[in-house]
């Protein structure tokens, strides 16, 4: 295929995808697969190879998207590069081929409450300065090599910080080329850009742990709420800084244990939603859509999600009831997913076709739907079933229109809040040591003070990126 023909294919797919994201009707149902270790299964690599060498993961994803007729895919859904986690010494991963079988996906090893990375009496320190807390308290506990504040600065300590920082720059700096090659080689759209997580989930995932957070909600719920509020500016900054500058593809929002029955409806209303909703609204004011990747069953909360502005999110169905989800949210938001991973792993081709037909009949009749597995596809999905899912959707999911190769406008384009969101007031999000505090230690600057400030802030922000992505991404 010529370069011009491939670019036309890319633009058609981008237009199809963005039209569905807007909850409108494209020429056919777009197919967007969040394929993780499945790309290893398809291309003949092991889980160790695609997890521990991100260049192999990139290559496997590009080959997979070229072999299937997908409109969009995530540039590397394996995502956690264990070469980087090993450099930093993060002790909560089981690495394929090193700690566990080479053909097993990486494992998250959640510590017990007694060994949690944040203790029950440390909320005030987190609230006072979240970034400093991560460097001084969280990272030394989460790493095999980083020494605690006041401890001996060892060779291993210094190496872990330098290697970890350099590795993160190398890894993140490789994604633009990966997206460009997906576009050039198969006309595939890079499906998401950026990351959002709920402050409540972060406390449960990486700080107190689920059991610790559950206990804290009984004994000190006010502290938990203040901690969630203190984390909001930082979650917002990470999400906005990594978002698609053109606003065409959504920010990924990975939803973990914030739903019933992991927490009570009252806790959702008092802690989870009040510290999530303002961020989603503020990101939409910036023209940034969010993909609510609703792992598990979120049926109880669907009516609450209707409070959000129209088109501001895409709701991904894992174990939520598809009929209820479509009836509750389908008039306002795009829906994606709904094909159970178990069927792709253990079902027959006929069962796959029947389920895809059911999903399209329920959720895709009027547009505003994106075909995908219900959860991230790992190495147990059968390639023949994924092929059937793709081919059936292309055949059955036609709306009768013609593909368009024009560059679409962004969902929410032109939206801009009159003032910054209130949760950013007084925040140092995006920095480690603000210029004002640094400048107070300097003598008068005889040259261009604004130049000095700009470069300081740009480099200081890299230190902020490092620690927050250690927490959120790895």
Structure tokens at 142: 């989460």
| pLDDT at site 412 | 60
**Spatial separation of the C-alpha atoms in residues 429 and 238, rounded to whole Å:** 9
**Spatial separation of the C-alpha atoms in residues 367 and 360, rounded to whole Å:** 10
Q: What is the pLDDT along the chain (474 residues), one digit of tens a residue?
A: 778 999 999 999 999 999 999 999 999 999 999 999 999 999 999 999 999 999 999 999 999 999 999 999 999 999 999 999 999 999 999 999 999 999 999 999 999 989 999 999 999 999 999 999 999 999 999 999 999 999 999 999 999 999 999 999 999 999 999 999 999 999 999 999 999 999 999 999 999 999 999 999 999 999 999 999 999 999 999 999 999 999 999 999 999 999 999 999 999 999 999 999 999 999 999 999 999 999 999 999 999 999 999 999 999 999 999 999 999 999 999 999 999 999 999 999 999 999 999 999 999 999 999 999 999 999 999 999 999 999 999 999 999 999 998 888 876 655 676 688 999 998 999 999 999 888 887 778 889 999 999 999 999 999 999 999 999 999
Q: Which long-range contacts (CB under 8 A, 24 or more apart) does 116-120 make?
A: 116/207, 116/208, 116/209, 116/212, 117/141, 117/142, 117/206, 117/207, 117/209, 118/203, 118/207, 118/208, 118/212, 120/208, 120/212, 120/215, 120/216, 120/219, 120/220
The answer to whether 270 and 229 have CB atoms below 8 angstroms apart is no
Query: CA torsion, points 341, 336, 390, 104, in degrees to nearest 10?
Result: -30
**Spatial separation of the C-alpha atoms in residues 428 and 30, rounded to whole Å:** 40
| DSSP state at residue 32 | E
Domain total in the chain: 1
Q: How many CA atoms lie within 13 A of 372 on its CB side?
A: 28
Structure tokens at 178: 């990966």
**Spatial separation of the C-alpha atoms in residues 390 and 32, rounded to whole Å:** 10
pLDDT digits (tens, 9 = 90+) for 276-308: 999 999 999 999 999 999 999 999 999 999 999
- Mean pLDDT taken over the chain: 95
| pLDDT at site 28 | 98
- E-assigned strand segments in 212-368: 251-255, 290-294, 313-317, 334-337
Overall size of the chain counted in residues: 474
Phi, psi for residue 373 in degrees, rounded to 5? -65, 160
pLDDT digits (tens, 9 = 90+) for 447-469: 999 999 999 999 999 999 999 99
The answer to whether 286 and 229 have CB atoms below 8 angstroms apart is no
Question: Residue for token digits 């095999």?
Answer: 144
Q: Look up the CATH number of the domain holding residue 147.
A: 3.20.20.210
Cα three-residue angle 365-367-371, rounded to 5 degrees:
90
Phi, psi for residue 111 in degrees, rounded to 5? -70, 160
How is the beta sheet containing 32-33 ordered, strand by strand? Answer: 32-33, 72-73, 189-190
Domain that holds residue 122: 3-472
The answer to whether 89 and 471 have CB atoms below 8 angstroms apart is no
Give the predicted TM-score (pTM) of the model.
Answer: 0.96
């Amino acid at each position: 295929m010529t370069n011009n023909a491939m670019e036309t294919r890319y633009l058609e797919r981008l237009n199809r995808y963005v039209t569905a994201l807007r909850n409108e009707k494209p020429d056919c149902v777009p197919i967007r697969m969040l394929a993780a270790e499945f790309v290893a299964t398809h291309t003949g690599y092991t889980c160790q190879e695609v997890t521990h060498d991100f260049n192999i993961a990139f290559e496997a994803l590009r080959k997979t998207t070229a072999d299937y007729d997908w409109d969009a895919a995530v540039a590397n859904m394996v995502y956690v590069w264990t070469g980087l986690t090993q450099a930093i010494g993060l002790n909560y991963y089981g690495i394929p081929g090193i700690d566990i079988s080479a053909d097993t996906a990486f494992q998250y090893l959640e510590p017990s409450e007694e060994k949690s990375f944040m203790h029950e009496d440390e909320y005030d320190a987190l609230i006072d300065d979240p970034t400093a807390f991560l460097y001084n308290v969280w990272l030394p506990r989460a790493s095999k090599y980083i020494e605690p504040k006041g401890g001996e600065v060892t060779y291993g300590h210094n190496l872990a910080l330098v290697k970890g920082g350099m590795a993160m720059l190398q890894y993140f700096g490789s994604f633009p080329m990966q997206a460009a090659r997906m576009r050039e080689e198969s006309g595939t759209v890079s499906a998401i850009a950026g990351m959002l997580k709920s402050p409540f989930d972060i406390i449960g995932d990486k700080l107190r742990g689920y059991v610790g957070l559950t206990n804290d909600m009984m004994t000190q719920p006010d502290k938990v709420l203040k901690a969630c509020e203190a984390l909001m500016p930082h979650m917002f900054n990470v999400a906005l800084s990594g978002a698609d500058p053109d606003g065409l593809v959504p920010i990924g929002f990975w939803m973990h244990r914030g739903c019933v029955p992991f927490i009570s409806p009252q806790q959702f209303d008092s802690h989870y939603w009040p510290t999530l909703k303002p961020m989603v609204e503020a990101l939409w004011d910036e023209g940034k859509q969010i993909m609510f990747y609703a792992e598990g069953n979120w049926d109880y909360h669907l009516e609450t999600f209707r409070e959000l502005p129209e088109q501001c999110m895409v709701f991904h169905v894992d174990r939520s009831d598809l009929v209820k989800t479509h009836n509750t949210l389908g008039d306002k938001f795009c829906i994606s997913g709904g094909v159970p991973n178990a069927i792709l792993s253990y079902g027959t081709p006929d069962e796959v076709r029947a389920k895809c037909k059911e999903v399209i009949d329920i959720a895709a009749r009027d547009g505003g739907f994106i075909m995908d597995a219900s959860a991230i596809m790992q190495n147990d999905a059968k390639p023949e079933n994924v092929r059937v899912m793709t081919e059936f959707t292309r055949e059955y999911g036609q709306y009768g229109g013609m593909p368009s190769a024009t560059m679409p406008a962004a969902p929410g384009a032109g939206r801009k809040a009159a003032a910054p969101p209130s949760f950013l007031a007084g925040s140092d999000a995006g920095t480690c040591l603000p210029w004002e505090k640094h400048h107070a230690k300097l003598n008068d600057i005889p040259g261009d003070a604004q130049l000095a400030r700009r470069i300081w802030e740009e480099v200081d922000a890299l230190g902020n990126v490092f620690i927050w992505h250690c927490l959120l991404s790895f």
